[in-house]
């Protein structure tokens, strides 16, 4: 499992968090064009020191997208082994639009050199704002926020990658994690080892390498023979070649 804290519910003991079968932490880094979470760095260091996986999320707004992108990249600056996420949820009249979400995701992935690796956190917002199956969103991992017992993603996704099943009050148990208390908790439908493998990139690692093309065989042969004599040379499985000294 993983947890989803912010400055509202930071952990005070990440060793206890880990003992409670938590594998990773996805923490609020930024919001909108300028907000940064002043507990982020200390929590990041403490979680990693305890051996937990780390991820950063940006809380989306309808404000200038370029400023939001720069705010996240400048402050969170996720390492290659860290998950990064757009928290796309309802925020009244300041809810990020579909086109803004696509722009944020595309530009952040490009800046980090990590195409299709952004995790999308959403629930009803995606269901209300996306019209049918959208291949852009469906090609990225969904972190579904839904506190019922039968999670159902928006039709762009066949399934979810993570499921946030409780906010610490509503939804199935457990509602509380040692070292934090009541908080947002998420489940993963695989093993802890699989979650570790998929955490940053969504896959277990690079695909199989293409076969290396056969290298040409280079043979150096020194021939000494009287003028006019033909010499036949055979090397391993190469065809025989005939050479005739003409000078």
Which pLDDT score is estimated for 62?
98
What are the distances in angstroms from CA 162 to CA 74, 95, 123, 143, 220?
Answer: 26, 22, 12, 5, 60
CA 63, CA 9: separation in Å to the nearest integer? 26
2-198 to CATH, choices 3.20.20.80, 3.30.1390.10, 3.30.420.40, 3.40.50.300: 3.20.20.80
Q: What is the pLDDT of residues 85-139, one digit of tens each?
A: 999 999 999 999 999 999 999 999 999 999 999 999 999 999 999 999 999 999 9
Angle CA 180–41–5, to nearest 5: 30
**What residues are paired with 144 via a beta bridge?**
122, 163
Exposure letters 127-151 (e unless 16+ CB within 10 A, then b): eebbeeebeebbebbbbbbbbeeeb
pTM of the shown model: 0.81
Regions in the chain scoring below 70 on pLDDT? 1-8, 204-247
CA 174, CA 172: separation in Å to the nearest integer? 6
Which pLDDT score is estimated for 244?
53
Which pLDDT score is estimated for 203?
86
Residue 174: is the preceding peptide bond cis (ω within 30°)?
yes
CA 101, CA 104: separation in Å to the nearest integer? 5
Instruction: For the chain, report the end-to-end CA distance as a whole number of angstroms.
Output: 81
Which pLDDT score is estimated for 235?
54
CA 244, CA 6: separation in Å to the nearest integer? 83
């Amino acid at each position: 499992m993983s947890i989803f804290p912010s400055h509202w519910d930071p952990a005070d003991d990440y060793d206890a968090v880990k003992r409670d079968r938590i594998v990773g932490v996805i923490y609020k880094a930024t919001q909108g064009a300028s907000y940064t979470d002043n507990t982020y760095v200390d929590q990041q260091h403490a979680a990693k020191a305890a051996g937990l996986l780390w991820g950063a999320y940006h809380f989306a707004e309808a404000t200038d997208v370029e400023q939001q992108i720069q705010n996240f990249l400048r402050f969170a600056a996720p390492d290659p082994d860290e998950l990064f996420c757009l928290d796309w949820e309802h925020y009244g009249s300041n809810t990020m639009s579909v086109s803004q979400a696509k722009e944020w995701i595309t530009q952040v992935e490009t800046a980090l050199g990590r195409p299709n690796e952004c995790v999308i956190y959403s629930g009803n917002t995606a269901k209300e704002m996306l019209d049918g199956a959208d291949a852009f969103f469906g090609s990225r991992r969904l972190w579904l926020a839904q506190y019922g017992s039968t999670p159902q993603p928006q039709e762009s996704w066949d399934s979810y990658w993570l499921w946030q099943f409780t906010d610490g009050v509503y939804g199935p148990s457990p509602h509380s994690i040692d070292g934090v208390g009541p908080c947002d908790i998420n489940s993963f439908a695989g093993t802890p080892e699989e979650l570790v493998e998929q955490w940053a990139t969504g896959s277990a690692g690079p695909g199989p390498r293409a076969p290396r093309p056969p290298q040409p065989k280079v043979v150096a042969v020194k021939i000494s023979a009287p003028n006019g004599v033909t010499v036949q040379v055979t090397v391993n499985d190469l065809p025989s070649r005939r050479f005739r000294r003409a000078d």
